[in-house]
Chains A and B, each alone.
Chain A
């Protein structure tokens, strides 16, 4: 399979690899996918009192496109509000990385991962005042 230069760059030099303390109240963790399906993404965000994502980390078990999608996403969400981060669309990721049709599911998984991380952060009581954005496309997974 031919990968785009951007996928190869993220795959070879993944940004923001790592883990944060799941129990920390300022951390939201999203884990999506399943080993049997060939990809599992763990995305974590650290959110400040102003509702802005200060830091993001990921670990991904999956193909090069899955690793690149999650790596790119951690770059994108840093400095964004939860609302902004939650409205990132899988199509934007797919376009940026020039993913072929068979790899679109990797970008969908990345979108699911950031939504799950935001949900988790909110469930812990962080940023309770904010309203979760509703996204029509998220059923695509």
Chain B
């Protein structure tokens, strides 16, 4: 067995290390010996060179998702892209209507943008997903109204990894002339995306989820049929007036290179990650009372989210100090708020609390997965030996029928 470095990093859905090839590219656009010019400087070679680098990166991003480079707007990340898409479209189309539809399991960047729009007088419908995390199309169809101007549904969910059916959703919105925004922060470079064929109008991307740098993202804005946005950041009129601010050449070049590499390696990598994820799940599922969260098949290769019944989440995270993973409960808050995503799936609080998201990536090895299985099994076993709930379950007590002393 090869040497395993601890902690084992299984939090690639939170962020990824920058690929060495990407970092190398980026370094060429920072210092005096490199291309440090302002891409907006039209009067000298350093500016032209920076502009060329920015445009090449725009092509690389566009190529990965089947878009025209002119449809790609640079932002500071998927959070900003989501904000620009939702607020920008809502503000532009508000004379047509003021109703927006989204999903309860969206990223906070979408949900909180919607909350803000509600404060401005827009009306938002937050749809419940099915227990497997997928959106039911009839439910979406029933929510659409004459004054609906925007639908925002993510491609891959960041917590549970389920994949929504963009083709079908976009079919419904296109039919009615409703703008369709998709947060693709977790899917770009992981799943094939062809915006030439998909009925999607706006799509958000992030650099750091796919081995690019943090602090850079992009928004796809469809040209045919044309989608309009009201700018949220005003200034020098960069990015065709949609997003002012001097372009961060090194960040953009990094994201471009990351997307280029993803386009090349995605297919092989997805197959490798899928096999590793299945190995992980088959190791964990040998334990009793372990539940997979999210649809078993319609899911991205790298994300596995499961709940360990009768074990409390925070103590589990404490026991798993050698594995860098995300937990379904917010450990640092006194209120111990369980994941809103798992709650929206109808998971009870106990199972939501004891959930762990394992997210695998480019540098995950089989040895790491095997070691993770061992560590998790040992931790869950130890905590169950300590758990009065596990003991009651073993004795055949139905915990739902117990009257717990409230405190």
Instruction: List CB contacts (< 8 Å) of B319-352 with chain A.
Output: 329, 331-334, 336, 348-350
A90 contacts partner chain B, Cβ-Cβ < 8 Å: no
**Cα distance A32–B407 in the bound complex, in angstroms:** 8
Is A39 at the interface (CB under 8 A from chain B)? Answer: yes
Q: Are B405 and A102 in contact (CB under 8 A)?
A: no
Chain A residues numbered 10-28 whose CB sits less than 8 Å from any CB in chain B: 11, 14, 17, 19
Distance, CA A107 to CA B120, complexed state (A)? 45
Tell which of B348, B388, B391, B399 has the most Cβ of chain A within 10 Å. Answer: B388
User: Shortest Cβ distance from B158 into chain A, in angstroms?
Assistant: 22
Is B406 located at the chain interface by the 8 A CB criterion? yes
Residues of B within 8 A of A (CB): 310-315, 318, 329, 331-334, 336, 348-350, 353, 385-391, 399, 404-407
Cα-based distance from A75 to B382 in the complex (angstroms): 20
Q: Please tell me if A76 contacts chain B, counting CB pairs below 8 Å.
A: no
From 32 to 67 in chain A, residues with beta carbon under 8 angstroms from any chain B beta carbon are 32-42, 59-64, 66-67
Q: Are A1 and B332 in contact (CB under 8 A)?
A: yes
Q: Are B386 and A37 in contact (CB under 8 A)?
A: no
Which of A19, A34, A38, A101 has the most C-beta atoms of chain B within 10 angstroms of its own C-beta?
Answer: A38
Give the bracket for the number of chain A residues in contact with chain B: 20 to 34
- The residues of A that contact B406 with a CB separation of less than 8 Å are 34
Known interface pairs A35-B404, A36-B348. Does A62 touch B312 (Cβ–Cβ under 8 Å)?
A: yes
List of A residues within 8 angstroms of B312 by Cβ: 38-39, 61-63, 66
**Shortest CB–CB separation between residue A36 and chain B, in angstroms?**
5
- Tell me the bound Cα distance from A42 to B390 in angstroms: 12
Structural contact, B389 and A61, CB atoms closer than 8 A? yes
Q: In the complex the two chains form, is B388's CB within 8 Å of A37's CB?
A: no
Whether B407 lies near A40 (C-beta < 8 A) is no
For A102, list chain B residues within 8 Å (CB): 332-334
Which 4 residue pairs spanning A and B have beta carbons closest together? A34-B404, A42-B388, A63-B314, A102-B334
Given A11-B315, A67-B315, A102-B333, verify A33-B407 contact (CB < 8 Å): yes
Q: Considering the complex, give the chain B residue whose CB is closest to the CB of A62.
A: B312
Neighbour of A60 across the interface among B329, B331, B387, CB < 8 A: B387
Of B315, B332, B385, B407, the contact of A141 (CB 8 Å cutoff):
B407
Interface contact B318-A60, CB-CB below 8 Å:
no
Interface pair A32/B318, CB less than 8 Å apart: no
The residue in A17, A36, A66, A108 that gathers the most chain B C-beta atoms within 10 A of its C-beta is A36
Residue ID in chain B nearest A63 by CB atoms: B314
Q: Is there an interface contact between A59 and B332, defined as CB atoms closer than 8 Å?
A: no
CB nearest neighbor in B for A108: B407
Contacts of B310 in A (CB 8 A): 61
Q: Are B407 and A61 in contact (CB under 8 A)?
A: no
State the CA gap A60–B311 with chains docked (Å). Answer: 10
